[in-house]
Amino acid sequence: MKFYYFNSTSTSTSDYNFSLFSIYESNVFKDALVDQIRRNVNFCRESESITTTTLIQFIKDTSTTTVYSMENEELTGVINFSIKKNISGKKYVYINALCVSERKSGLGLGKQLITKIILFSKEYNFDQIKLVCSGDVFNFYKKLGFTIETVSKGYDSDDSSDSDIEKYNMVLDVDTFYFDNENDSSASVSDETSKNGGKSKKVRKTRKSKKVRKTIKSKKVRKTKKVRKTRK
């Protein structure tokens, strides 16, 4: 599996180096990517919060950056994001769209694509990643550590029905993520962090190491005292 990206041509994201995590592709290949998505009309399935048409609109938007994955020349996943500012002027990452092919669904590719954005956010000190979703996909983001900021109801342009649907405005605090392996790009939500007063596994491991060293030191002291007493 290889990951590629199309960078934004706007000043909002063009100043950032995303090539740290993916292979750069010239924007001239963007049309080829769009064609692949169009040929697979069900690329963004009904259970997702976005339609294929809307995904293509985001990809074509020059103010956004798109990261996508390929395997054996087949498009397997796409994530599109922007850099935005809150009321106080602080920048954050906003995920516009995430779609994974049906063949790769449930195999962790969605998490891998989100991890790319987390790596990017950490590199440039963005504290938060935000998005809006609806339907079953809400549970996917919840498992990754996203929490609900607000819930709204209203007509969704991506929904063919006229019924109101719930939209979840979600946020991920980047610091709540830890990496399973410092040399690996995989990430996990620090569930145990919240259960242990915000202390990570790494911290607990360090404490355990200190305890072991302290025990060894105590044994050495007792052994030394015993030897001195015997000699005396």
DSSP 86-142: -TTS-EEEEEEEEEE-GGGTTTTHHHHHHHHHHHHHHHTT--EEEEEE-TTHHHHHH
Instruction: Give residue 68's pLDDT.
Output: 92
Q: Quick one: pLDDT band at residue 156, thresholds 50, 70, 90? A: low
Q: Quick one: pLDDT band at residue 7, thresholds 50, 70, 90? A: confident
Instruction: Give residue 229's pLDDT.
Output: 53
Mean pLDDT, residues 221-227 taken together: 50
Length of the chain: 232
Share of the chain above pLDDT 90, in %: 23
Where are the strands (E) in 183-227, listed by range? 187-189
The two structure tokens encoding residue 171? 């946020």
Instruction: Give residue 130's pLDDT.
Output: 96
pLDDT, tens digit (0-9, with 9 covering 90-100), for 165-208: 788 899 999 987 766 554 444 444 444 333 344 443 443 344 44
Query: pTM of the prediction?
Result: 0.72
5 and 66 Cβ atoms separated by less than 8 Å: yes
Instruction: Give residue 117's pLDDT.
Output: 93
pLDDT, tens digit (0-9, with 9 covering 90-100), for 44-55: 875 556 888 889
